[in-house]
Amino acid sequence: MNRLMIELNGLKLEHPVMNASGILGSEPEHVDILVNAGFSGIVTKTFTKNPRNGYPPPIIVELDNGGYLNAVGLANPGINGICPVVERARRHGKPVIVSIGGSSLSEFIEVSIKAEECRATAIELNMSCPHVKGHGLDLGSDPSMVYTLVKEVVSTINTPVFVKLGLCDKIIESAGKALEAGASGVVLINTIRAMAIDVYTGKPVLSNKYGGLSGPPIKPIAIRAVYEVYREYNAPIIGVGGISSWRDVAEFILAGARAVQVGSVFMKNRRIVYEILEGLEKWIEIHGVSSIMDLVGLAHRV
């Protein structure tokens, strides 16, 4: 028996570690890299209806606190880039979650339909990007908008829909509205809106001025978000934010996440998934349970 196998409303994974959207995933050859790295499911880069060039460089900077600041601008090849990526993942026998972004309801629906036609295993609605105006967080911070958008997408397609939400004052309410509208689960959280300034030039480091903070500095915030949403709804949750070890994954699971997505650390350590899995196997043994699913939300029961 595979003790690391998990299930998210019908989405079955051989273990709980996927890549986070934005870490490769816009081209078929990226899928090969992610599969070789050991991820149980492939999450694509966010696709929009039309191609986006994103922001000019610099678009990413490593910070002294171990985190990263990035503003890529949702760069992607557009709707026609979805099928080649999905087909490559399916060739490897891996579930593939297509991340979808948009600035309007019709755009989300059109790209979701395309993802289903391409035989995506699931869809992740990006309502969390903190640095593209009119997309992402601007939508996810409005619970009524979350409900309307998710309801329309879910009623249009048969593919399972997950909703990725970013940090905002109404994240718990938005998560509830996503679930009420028929989402199969929520993904918490994305990077956090932040900024860095060069002390010599006096200018913001990123071309977009603002970016998203990722890496270890945001993990405690992400853990808190997962804990609170699980406490409120006992829902299927995928945890994201600052994971760099098996202990971090264990913490997310105890808070209520059934699976996780790994991002920034993969840029430095291509073996991180295998290291996490080795640690989780020993952790399960220490707790004396037959499945990692038995440990989901344990922090709420002790």
φ, ψ of residue 260 in degrees (nearest 5): -135, 165
Active site includes 118?
no
| Residue 134 CB neighbours (<10 A) | 9
Q: Catalytic pick from 83, 118, 129, 168?
A: 129
Structure tokens, 189: 């959280």
Helix (H) or strand (E) holding 68: strand 68-70
Measured CA to CA, the distance from residue 288 to residue 4 in angstroms comes to 13
The torsion defined by the Cα of 124, 39, 244 and 57, in degrees rounded to 10, comes to -60
Say how far apart CA 211 and CA 231 lie, in whole Å.
30
Calpha distance 29→207 (Å, rounded): 28
Residue type at position 29: E
Q: What is the 3-state secondary structure (H, E, C) of 31-99?
A: HHHHHHCCCCCEECCCECCCCECCCCCCCEEECCCCCEEECCCCCECCHHHHHHHHHHHHHCCCCEEEE
The answer to whether 212 and 191 are in contact (CB under 8 A) is: yes
What is the set of active-site residues?
129
